[in-house]
Amino acid sequence: MTTPLISPSILNCDIARLEDELRKISSADIAHVDVMDNHFVPNLTWGLPVVEACVNTGILPIDAHLMIEDPDRWAPAYAEAGCASVTFHAEAASAPIRTAREIRRLGARAALALKPSTDIAPYVDILPEVDMILIMTVEPGFGGQSFLESMLPKIQRTRDAIASASLDISIQVDGGVSRKTIERAADAGATNFVAGSAIFRADDAFEEIATLRSLAQLHMH
């Protein structure tokens, strides 16, 4: 049976207390760090130095989600920096296979992210090149948005495509994941759950992570 992975997004954390904030979520499986360049998405967060700082704390493995233009050029540096996983967007990559192979060559898991309006169908044939598909369940750019129920069929289609190809690829969901929505996402086929405000605004982050994990486990196939 697959175990759900809980990946808290540090988007809404107190960046001045980065190490403390990572300790607050240390019972999670991986920390999700959103890199935004104010071009691909209308928000600017942080880049390689902050991601490296997160890696160097050694508290959790780091999952870098690159919401940036030209990931073909920039993504390998995040793998070199020691990220466990590097996610780049299908809409921004001009050479997704080459980029995924380069990320893997440098020792990280490679993941392909899809915005809500991007279908999985054109990417089914390149599934063997990646370790994870990220299905955005909000429009990327800002934390605290509501989960888009309309993404559930896409999660199911992705799960079916992975099963048909007999591949071991995880499906990550990011955006509006909370106690209210995680069960439906797990039921549709998600296995890796990014939650930001749901965890960082909780009174007890450890307890919230444990609750999300158990809710997802109940609904995973």
- Show the domain range for 144: 5-219
* pLDDT at residue 1 is higher than 70: no
From 14, 131, 174, 203, the catalytic residue = 174
Position 86 scores a pLDDT of 98
d(C-alpha 189, C-alpha 185), whole Å: 7
* pLDDT (mean) for 41-46: 91
Mean pLDDT over all residues of the chain? 96
Give the per-residue pLDDT at 59.
98
pLDDT given for residue 15 in this prediction: 87
The catalytic position among 29, 34, 63, 131 is 34
Residue in the structure block whose two tokens are 């999670």 = 28
Whether the Cβ atoms of residue 32 and residue 5 lie closer than 8 Å to each other: no
The domain total for the chain is: 1
Q: 72 and 95 in contact (C-beta within 8 Å)? A: yes
187 included as an active-site residue: no
Looking up residue 20, the CATH number of its domain turns out to be: 3.20.20.70
Task: Measure the CA–CA gap between 214 and 208, rounded to whole angstroms.
Answer: 10
Write the pLDDT tens digit of every residue in 161-220: 999 999 999 999 999 999 999 999 999 999 999 999 999 999 999 999 999 999 999 998
CA dihedral sign, ordered 35, 40, 41, 45: positive
Residue 150 binned pLDDT confidence (cut-offs 50, 70, 90): very high
Give the tens place of pLDDT for each residue, 98-129. Answer: 999 999 999 999 999 999 999 999 999 999 99
Cβ atoms of 90 and 118 closer than 8 Å: yes
Pairs from 156-162 (Cβ < 8 Å, separation ≥ 24): 156/188, 156/189, 157/119, 157/120, 157/121, 158/120, 158/133, 158/189, 159/188, 159/189, 159/221, 160/189, 161/120, 161/124, 161/127, 162/127, 162/133
**With contact defined as beta carbons under 8 Å apart, do 144 and 137 qualify?**
no
In the residue annotation, 174 being an active-site residue is answered as yes
| Of 80, 145, 75, the residue nearest 111 (C-alpha) | 75
pLDDT in tens, 51-107: 999 999 999 999 999 999 999 999 999 999 999 999 999 999 999 999 999 999 999
Radius of gyration of the chain, Cα coordinates, nearest whole angstrom: 16
- Full-model pTM: 0.96
**pLDDT of 154 higher than 70:** yes
Instruction: Tell me the C-alpha distance between 50 and 14, whole Å.
Output: 13
Each residue of 12-37: pLDDT tens digit? 888 899 999 999 999 999 999 999 99
For the chain, the maximum distance between any two Cα atoms, rounded to a whole number of angstroms, is: 46
Closest CA relative to residue 2, chosen from 163, 176, 178: 163
User: How many angstroms separate the CA atoms of 71 and 77, rounded?
Assistant: 10
First to last CA, the chain: 8
